[in-house]
Amino acid sequence: MSDHQTPRLPERDRPWMMRTYAGHSTAKASNELYRRNLAKGQTGLSVAFDLPTQTGYDPDDELARGEVGKVGVPVSHRGDMKTLMDGIPLDEMNTSMTINATAAWLLALYIVAAEEQGVSQEQLQGTTQNDIIKEFLARGTYAFPPAASMRLIADMIAYTVEHVPKWNPINICSYHLQEAGATPVQEIAYAMSNAIAVLDAARERVERAHSSEHGTGGNGSRSADAQELMEQVFGRISFFVNAGVRFVEEHAKLRAMSVLWEELGRERYGVQNRRHLRFRYGVQVNSLGLTESQPENNVQRIVLEALAVTLGRDARARAIQLPAWNEALGLPRPWDQQWSLRIQQVLAYETDILEYPDIFEGSIVMDGLVSELLDGARAEIAVVAEHGGAVEAVAYMKGALVDSHRERLRRIEAGEQVVVGQNRYVESEESPLTADAEGGILVVDPAVESQQIEDVRAWRATREQAAVDAALGELAEAAQDEQRNLMATTIAAARAGATTGEWSRTLREVFGSYRAPTGVGEAAAAPADAELSELREEVAALSEKLGRRPKILVGKPGLDGHSNGAEQIAVRARDAGMDVVYEGIRLTPAQIAASALQEGVHVIGLSILSGSHRELIPAVIDALREAGVQAPVVVGGIIPEQDVAPLREAGVAAVYTPKDFDITRIMRDIVELLGADGTDANGAVPVAGSGAAATGAA
């Protein structure tokens, strides 16, 4: 910087868009929460949907049991969306919807709700997450097979770029990759590989739509028009990233992603417009590192993580939502979310970070970190390409994430990676933040689910059924024709009054179902350190006593797709010498009981992080009893302290929560449980309970 230049900007930058990821119980309750948050200074909406809505089920579906209104708001039809957005001017609001498998449907409902406000779709602005590849890798809220899912994404992109031009049809989402254990290099590489797969599919769809609309003649102007449309598509693609507490490296990661994104646009897609080449991203900072132990420490973690996405002007987030301090305990309350919003507001309005040009420009350290990350990411992108691209490489990437997450947990267990309050400095005073009857979290009224079931049945009974049947029939015909874009028939079904479950079921009947790879089989064998060797000896001794190797079934009942902890339990059990049955996510209690009976397992582990443990764990226990399965059960996940005793009374042998981060210790507990007196000839322990194996990483 020369002597005459000022170190300050001519005028202070505008703050980023401030959001709070919110939604629970009902559309009416969530609407009231949104309006209160907007009154507190929130500048955009971020809608959290419940798991049935995310995966395409109505509240009265068997798989929706225990999940309705828990991790977000249930939206079953256009009436729910109208209620959710009541009093919120959709021509002014920027709305982000964390929705993937059913993104086309939720956008259709939003378009119809806007129409009822007198707002055209051309005026709408916001984002649908709509990133299905990362659902196969990390989050689990997929509904359809990969090819059909990619078609839905491409159809949405092609539709919105022409008809909803202010809408971001997809957030390439690296957030959940880091939550699943991705290193910075993996997060960059897999996100960019994902973007390539999406853009390639979109280009084909856009060119097809352009040819059918403008003819197939070969003149150069049509080719130029198609290229211009593709540039607009590239410019509407945004990212949703993660930022961990290592905020210097995390900022370097974002600068590296910006470099790769511009390269990708210029070299692969011929984008020239600098505005379209900008790397645009929103962020929720890291939740994986939030702890149940001494949860007050999460506040400073969140603040430091926010620095990663705000300090450097050239790689600053366009939109930020911060988690609440108590998310490792359960659902945050409105007051907790307000605290997170106030953190953003203090950063934006009280500090001076918005007053300067990029403070890392010319930094040798930052440039070196960026270069290091670029080298690693380019090499890993090449590996994904060798596997056939992101869609074909799902199994490879999933296995790599399981391996990385296992290594992260190993470092924490060994004390190599310090987590204050968890594996070091664990002595603590009682926290007044968790002293209330609910333990410092929001508890959803169990009556919400039955009310939502009544409401959706009443909706079906009072609509014009013939119009719904016709619309769903047209949707099915469009799904069978690869040449047709599904958005028009999806919007028509929304207008007619179809439900979320009906839309999804119609497409499932055409596209079929799918179960994503678990990564457990692909994960490499763990190196035998002293602790693992000792555990293997204990398992071998137990095997002699049982007459065969102990067998564990790891199950995830309900719709909770966060399987990281369950996968780590399955991998550690395998590495310790146990036989493992792990079929992945989204199982009914009856399916778990049938598998336990067929496989002859010695112990059952159930992992639930969605808050549905109070309903689903007793249901699994009942199903096991009815099937005649006698095996102890251990349960793990985000389970509040006040729910532990009822689960034990229901027959659960052991309960693990995020504070129980030592997986080897959990394995030893299971070995001790199975080695207790009372094993029968088949090695089963006659305890009428069930258990969920999940850890603080689950």
Which residues lie closer than 8 Å to 235 by C-beta, 6 or more apart? 271, 273, 275, 276, 277, 278
Residue with tokens 């307000």: 338
Residue showing tokens 């555990």: 535
Coil, strand or helix at 597: helix
SS3 state at 674? helix
Q: Name the residue among 194, 281, 294, 277 with its Cα closest to residue 243.
A: 281
Could you give the dihedral angle defined by the CA atoms of residues 177, 180, 184 and 189, in that order, rounded to the nearest 10 degrees?
-40
Spell out the residues 6+ positions from residue 473 whose beta carbon is closer than 8 angstroms to its own: none
Catalytic status, residue 560 = yes
Q: What angle do the packed helices 146-163 and 487-496 form, to 10 degrees? A: 80
Contact (Cβ atoms closer than 8 angstroms) between residue 257 and residue 188 = yes
210 is catalytic: no
CA 462 to chain centre: 35
Catalytic member of 398, 551, 556, 613: 556
* Phi and psi angles of residue 688, each rounded to the nearest 5 degrees, phi first: -80, 65
Three-state SS at 46: strand
Active site residue: 159, 175, 269, 396, which one?
175
Q: Among residues 24, 70, 551, 562, which one is catalytic?
A: 562
Q: Are 24 and 48 in contact (CB under 8 A)?
A: yes
251 catalytic per annotation: no
Token pair, residue 27, equals 């559309």
In the set 176, 210, 276, 551, the catalytic residue is: 176
**Could you give the C-alpha distances from 52 to 98, 155, 193, 207, in angstroms and in order?**
13, 23, 29, 34
Q: Give yes or no: 175 in active site.
A: yes
Maximum distance among all Cα pairs of the chain, rounded to whole angstroms: 87
Chain centroid to Cα 625, Å, comes to 33
Are 158 and 202 in contact by the 8 Å Cβ rule? The answer is yes
| Secondary structure (DSSP) of 511-532 | H-------STTTSPPPP--HHH
**Contact present, 184 and 192 (Cβ < 8 Å):** no
Residue of 60, 403, 455, 560 marked catalytic: 560
Whole-number Å distance between alpha carbons of 625 and 462: 40
Query: Of residues 21, 159, 582, 656, which has the active-site annotation?
Result: 21
Tokens of 537: 């000896």
**What amino acid positions are annotated as catalytic residues?**
21, 175-176, 556, 560, 562
